[in-house]
Structure 1
Amino acid sequence: REKKRENRDKIKVKKKIVAKKQETVTEKKEEFSVQGDHVEGKVDYNKLCAQFGCDLVTQNLLERFEKLTKKKPHEMIRRGLYYAHRDFDKILDAYEKGEPFYLYTGRGPSSESMHLGHTVPFIINKHLQEAFNVPLVIQITDDEKFFLKEQIKTIEEAYRLARENAKDIIAMGFDITKTFIFIDTDYIKYLYPNTIRVQEKITYSQMKAIFGVDDSSNIGKIAYPPIQTVPAFSSTFAIPFGNKKMKCLIPCAIDQDPYFRLCRDVAPKLNEEKPSCLYSKFMSSLRGPKGKMSASDENSAIYLSDSPKQIRDKIMKHAFSGGQDTEEKQSLLGADLDSDVSYQYLTFFLKDDKLLHSLGNDYKSGKLQSSHIKSKLCDILIPFVLKFQENRKLVTDDILEAFMAIYFQFSQVFLNLINRKFFQSNVVFYTKPSGNGTIRKQFNNDKQSYKGRVGGFIKKRILIFKSYGTCNKQKAVIWGFGEKGGQYYKAQYFTLLKLKKNIFCLVLGKSYENPTEVVDLKVFSSVKSSEDSTNKKHSFDVYSTDMRHSFVATSESEKEDWIRHIGKAIVLTNKKVIPKTNS
């Protein structure tokens, strides 16, 4: 009888709690606010989707993606964490037809280190870049954070944070040959023409309605939104994309939709393609499901710079639990998965669908305690962050500059016109016409250079060539990642070589019979002094419409000698009728 009485009492308690939950559900739902990067309240994502006028991602759309790309959608997409879209079906149409398009995402640098929530769009952009095999542009908005964040006092500080955050992004393992990272204040020369075209089409009233600016807002905050919209137009990247008109897909959090609604409204007026968007839910704060992680609040987030102890302490002590306050109640009533932060984080980072489903069922039914879910999350996140930190140590300023090279298009130098014995390996390369006089390149078929993977980041991947020395033998120093992540150095030489009639090239290597690099001068159109652009004495550039190599001689006479001989070789190489010559 006592057991029956206890069971009846437990059932009554359970019924009361269930009834209370039902009453809460029937009550008026709590208000929420999503505006720019500011989120308040528990977000009703379906309601937000309807307010913004987006479409939900359907199973048919995911099946079509898998059929076309031969890849399963990422677990975040399969689980509905990326749940809404604008014209994602049109991107799939373009992919099916072989039409070009690109990806665009960004980061506002408000802290020294990114947190877990910031990694979500980059994980998905990397997945889509690999699935579609398309370029990706990443905007770092140092100007926006200078306008909006009170703790960032100077534009110099905003720029410094932008570079640090860009290095964090690189450590996620992006393909350097298909990824272009730019900081607004660096790239403004190329952003501004489209920015003023957009600004001319919108009014202050629209800005107030969409972004909540008012008479007390600084002018920078009011004028900024078009700067974030124009990377969605391929004409903003005329140099990297070679003036191709391309569609754009923007995978990001749904709070960014106001920027791209504005962009889609203006695009037809400017004869630009409307961008497509793929929107995610927010990764909530450690404090609970109301709002999202914030880089401005250290206790609301797990940072990529946190130690294993810090991560474990934050999760075990501060992560909001949807479980009950005693083991007995938890066993009887189970947990609320929607409000449990640790379980929600597992939906983002636990790859095994079956394990996630099993953990969720057992936790909800009361078979598992909150401490078990938190401990499982620690086991997932600590290796993830440690692997990121190992990658991050490998990202130098030179590698950052390589990802930010405006002339990032690459082309194969392995041409049939050149005698193949002069190639050691098939090489792709790209260059930056900047002040550091460098040639940046990547070996794309040397299997040895792909050894030593660390979380998708490839050691020995970037080689950087700086040139010094004399006219007839141009000495260069090469450095890159060694097997242990350190630097190694090796001396090489450049020589101007005539291979056949009308075929000239620059050869890197002590012996032209076995070079480490060949630069076909048929690809290039001119050579000229570049001291004004490089700020280096005795520098000159060999360039075409979409790439440029920079060199530094040891004297003015040697520089002129190089320019004269290379210029003559370019002219002879590109002539249709080759004159007889003894040179």
Structure 2
Amino acid sequence: MPDIDPWGDVEVGDYSEKMEKFGIEPIEEIADRLPDHRFIRRGIVFGHRGLDDFLDARDEGNEFAMMTGIMPSGVFHFGHKCVVDQIKLYQEMGAQVTIAAADIEAYNTREMSLEESRKLVVEQYLKNYAALGIDLEEVDFYFQSQAGNNHLARSKMFGRYLTQNEVEATYGNADPGKISSALTQYADILRPQFKENGGPKPTVVPVGVDQDPHIRLTREVARKYREQDFVKPASTYNKFMRGLQGGKMSSSDPKSYIALTDSVEDAKDKIDQAKTGGQDSLEEHREKGADVEEDMVFELLAFHLIEDDGELQRIREEYASGEMLSGELKQIAKEKIEEFLVEHQRKREEVAPQVEQYIEENFEFDI
């Protein structure tokens, strides 16, 4: 069995162990070449593979690209927002941005109809992407099912450059639907380098470590493919934001996440019920302080709700010392989440007609 199943329910465990096993380099080694971003500063983006060539292209004024995908898995929550924040990071660096909606993969691996997944992509993802500042007119956005004949033909040609041993060692005994989805993903990752998109260029794909199997095999395909030169894609790796109850955040468990369409009241209720690192009694908490690393409310603040490192550090120190109580930490989070959701949902309502018009003008199906 593979060490990580990119289609499974993944509990990563020790990130440093995965880095060593798969040859992922620490992001700290090149952090000074990256923009000043909280994900970099706080170790949320913790590793990379091959990012030096990508940064060299930027520094030398050459073309470079960033690619990511949307897997329609349910409502759009703060775990998904991590991807959008990184899209904006690379777009601000000057990267050409490609976004694939994985409706074929959802059909093959999640038993969703194409119609169902497309509707979910538009309603839950694209409208939130636009509200968060992604201009769809400025990116190459497409659905896998409508990527074009050249795209889908190449994905099948890529199969020639992998061996049975490589596939089994990477994915285990993957069924035909998963292998078909994987080949389509290789075409997605390499799409920015297709001749019709300007040809070879350094391309980065920000992922969780669970998606590293796809990255490794795409790099093999890029190295071996003879019909066109490709630059082996680079990748960055971000930590998973954990669920509000601890453990994995899952779209199938509404208590584990705050959706960007949740009401303020529901979001506050979820924060109240979240797992904290506080001690059982007031006296014990004052004496021992909180276990900040196991506090899911603090993690929400660190990932998304507090930009200023000084403010976050002050909260960390007061909470860890016992000076700040769990209830006080939750109150900070509830105030921050209300401010964010009110503004975001206003923007979402504002951009919704534009997203619907974009789909109508660019795709031949109804939502």
When normalised by structure 1's length, the TM-score is: 0.58
Letter in 1 for 2:44: L
Partner of 1:278: 236
2:166 maps to which of 201, 206, 211: 206
1:300 maps to which of 243, 256, 262: 256
Deviation at 1:395, TM superposition (A): 3.0
In 2, the alpha carbon distance for the partners of 1:369 and 1:198 equals: 56
SS at match of 1:249: strand
SS at match of 1:105: strand
Mapped pair 1:128 → 2:90: yes
Q: Which is bigger in relative contact order (C-alpha 8 A, separation at least 6)?
A: 2
- Check conservation: 1:140, 1:166, Cα contact below 8 A: no
In the superposition, relative to structure 1, how do residues 197 and 40 fare at CA in structure 2: closer, same or farther (>3 Å)? closer
In 1, the alpha carbon distance for the partners of 2:357 and 2:184 equals: 22
- Check conservation: 1:166, 1:181, Cα contact below 8 A: no
- Check conservation: 1:250, 1:278, Cα contact below 8 A: yes
In the superposition, relative to structure 1, how do residues 125 and 157 fare at CA in structure 2: closer, same or farther (>3 Å)? same
- Check conservation: 1:320, 1:340, Cα contact below 8 A: yes
- Check conservation: 2:194, 2:200, Cα contact below 8 A: no
Deviation at 1:348, TM superposition (A): 0.7
1:366 maps to which of 322, 342, 348: 322
Partner of 2:33: 64
Deviation at 1:206, TM superposition (A): 3.0
SS at match of 1:394: helix
CA offsets 1:269-321 (integer angstroms, 9 cap, x no match): 11311011111000001111x33x1112222111111000100000111x111
1:157 maps to which of 116, 139, 146: 116
In the superposition, relative to structure 1, how do residues 88 and 123 fare at CA in structure 2: closer, same or farther (>3 Å)? same
Trace 1:353-502 onto structure 2 (pairs within 5 A): 353-396=309-352, 399-400=355-356, 402=358
SS at match of 2:142: strand
Deviation at 1:86, TM superposition (A): 0.7
- Relative to its length, the structure with more helix (as a share) is 2
Deviation at 1:362, TM superposition (A): 1.1
SS at match of 1:224: helix
In 2, the alpha carbon distance for the partners of 1:394 and 1:189 equals: 35
- Check conservation: 1:234, 1:244, Cα contact below 8 A: no
Letter in 1 for 2:255: N
Letter in 2 for 1:96: D
Identity of aligned residues (%): 29
Letter in 2 for 1:117: G
- Relative to its length, the structure with more strand (as a share) is 1
Mapped pair 1:52 → 2:22: yes
1:178 maps to which of 126, 133, 138: 138
CA RMSD, Structure 1 to Structure 2 (Å) = 2.3
Deviation at 1:207, TM superposition (A): 2.9
Deviation at 1:205, TM superposition (A): 3.9
- Check conservation: 1:234, 1:245, Cα contact below 8 A: no
In 2, the alpha carbon distance for the partners of 1:371 and 1:41 equals: 29
Partner of 1:482: none
Trace 1:229-248 onto structure 2 (pairs within 5 A): 229-234=186-191, 238-239=195-196, 241=197, 243-248=198-203
Partner of 1:549: none
- Check conservation: 1:102, 1:246, Cα contact below 8 A: yes
In 2, the alpha carbon distance for the partners of 1:35 and 1:103 equals: 24
Partner of 2:6: 36
SS at match of 1:233: helix
Task: List runs of 5+ in structure 1 lacking aligned partners.
Answer: 1-32, 66-71, 406-431, 437-583
In 1, the alpha carbon distance for the partners of 2:154 and 2:335 equals: 47
- Check conservation: 1:331, 1:366, Cα contact below 8 A: yes
In 2, the alpha carbon distance for the partners of 1:331 and 1:244 equals: 61
In 1, the alpha carbon distance for the partners of 2:353 and 2:147 equals: 17
In the superposition, relative to structure 1, how do residues 173 and 56 fare at CA in structure 2: closer, same or farther (>3 Å)? same
In 1, the alpha carbon distance for the partners of 2:339 and 2:148 equals: 38
Deviation at 1:253, TM superposition (A): 1.9
Task: List runs of 5+ in structure 2 lacking aligned partners.
Answer: none
Larger Rg: 1
Mapped pair 1:104 → 2:62: no
In 1, the alpha carbon distance for the partners of 2:142 and 2:194 equals: 11
In 1, the alpha carbon distance for the partners of 2:195 and 2:122 equals: 23
Partner of 2:299: 344
- Check conservation: 1:36, 1:255, Cα contact below 8 A: yes
Partner of 1:3: none
